[in-house]
């Protein structure tokens, strides 16, 4: 068996695929999931269930009490209309959750240290670079530099899919036999996926580019 890693698992497609990739590579994985007051809280249940199926540790960290910090994001505030369309659209700026990945990674590093584990993985990918600063290569490089110095032993922060498109992640997941019906992507967080928000659009496009049908149920 390879090294142990801490994997930030949201319950969405990217981290879900990353988990399967890590297991396929022979890593021992402990997962950490965050409740930060997101509308799409259904993803947390997806994370819990996949960890239960694979007999994996899934530590749930509730940081929803910092909701006031995130109040200007459409992902956490019902007062802000969820933008529809492509991730390239200017309106998608409202889906930025300020400093979210830095908070997540900091918690994950602390958890890793407590478990004497020196690697943290998260699911940033190339499709996120345009909108989200904390998914860009320069952010990962800076976080990694800090993680190397924050404890008595260095921590490595890694994003194995950093240069993958969403379609390439789906392709990898299909190769690994990932059941994407067990993931949640829609930012609206309602009973059925909306099929219109940026996250749904990117997901549907990725399946189409792989000549595959998304098994998730949609409203329309």
Domain range annotation of the chain: 4-209
Cα 66 to the center of its chain, rounded Å = 19
pLDDT tens-digit series, residues 34-51: 998 787 789 999 999 999
| pLDDT value of position 122 | 96
Average pLDDT score over residue span 43-68: 88
Write the DSSP string, 38-52: -S-THHHHHHHHHHH
pLDDT tens string 145-158 = 999 999 999 999 99
Q: Which CATH class is domain 4-209?
A: alpha beta
Mean pLDDT, to the nearest integer, of 54-83? 67
> What is the mean pLDDT of the segment spanning 6-12?
96
pTM of the shown model = 0.86
Q: Which residues pair with 35 in a beta bridge?
A: 62
pLDDT tens per residue across span 82-132? 546 555 555 555 556 677 888 899 999 999 999 999 999 999 999 765 677
Residue count of the chain, please give it. Answer: 220
Confirm if 209 and 167 have CB atoms less than 8 A apart: yes
**Of the candidates 139, 134, 142, 127, which has an alpha carbon nearest to the alpha carbon of residue 14?**
127
Q: How high is the mean pLDDT of the chain?
A: 86
pLDDT of residue 189: 78
- Using a 10 angstrom Cβ sphere, with 0-12 exposed, 13-18 middle and 19 or more buried, the burial of residue 125 is buried
* Highest-pLDDT range among 72-81, 91-100, 177-186: 177-186
Tell me the CA distances in angstroms from 53 to 46, 58, 100, 109, 133, one per residue in order.
11, 11, 28, 25, 33
- Rounded Cα–Cα distance for residues 19 and 11 (Å): 10
Main-chain phi, psi angles of 206, to 5 degrees: -65, -40
In whole angstroms, give the CA distance from residue 170 to residue 209: 9
């Amino acid at each position: 068996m390879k090294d142990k890693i801490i994997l930030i698992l949201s319950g969405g497609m990217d981290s879900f695929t990353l988990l399967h990739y890590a297991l396929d590579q022979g890593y021992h994985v402990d997962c950490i999931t965050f409740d930060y007051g997101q509308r799409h809280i259904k993803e947390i249940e997806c994370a819990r269930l996949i960890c239960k199926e694979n007999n994996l540790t899934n530590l749930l960290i509730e940081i929803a009490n910092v909701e006031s910090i995130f109040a200007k994001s459409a992902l956490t505030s019902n007062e802000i209309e969820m933008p529809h369309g492509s991730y390239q659209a200017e309106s998608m700026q409202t889906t930025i959750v300020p400093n979210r990945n830095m908070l997540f990674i900091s918690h994950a590093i602390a958890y890793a240290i407590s478990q004497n584990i020196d690697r943290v993985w998260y699911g940033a990918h190339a499709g996120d670079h345009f909108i989200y600063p904390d998914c860009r290569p320069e952010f990962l490089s800076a976080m990694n530099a800090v993680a190397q110095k924050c404890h008595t032993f260095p921590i490595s922060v890694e994003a194995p899919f950093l240069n993958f498109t969403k379609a390439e992640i789906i392709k990898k997941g299909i190769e690994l036999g990932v059941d994407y019906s067990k993931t949640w992507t829609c930012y609206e967080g309602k009973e059925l996926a909306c099929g219109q928000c940026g996250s749904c659009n990117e997901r549907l496009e990725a399946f189409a580019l792989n000549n595959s049908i998304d098994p998730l149920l949609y409203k329309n």
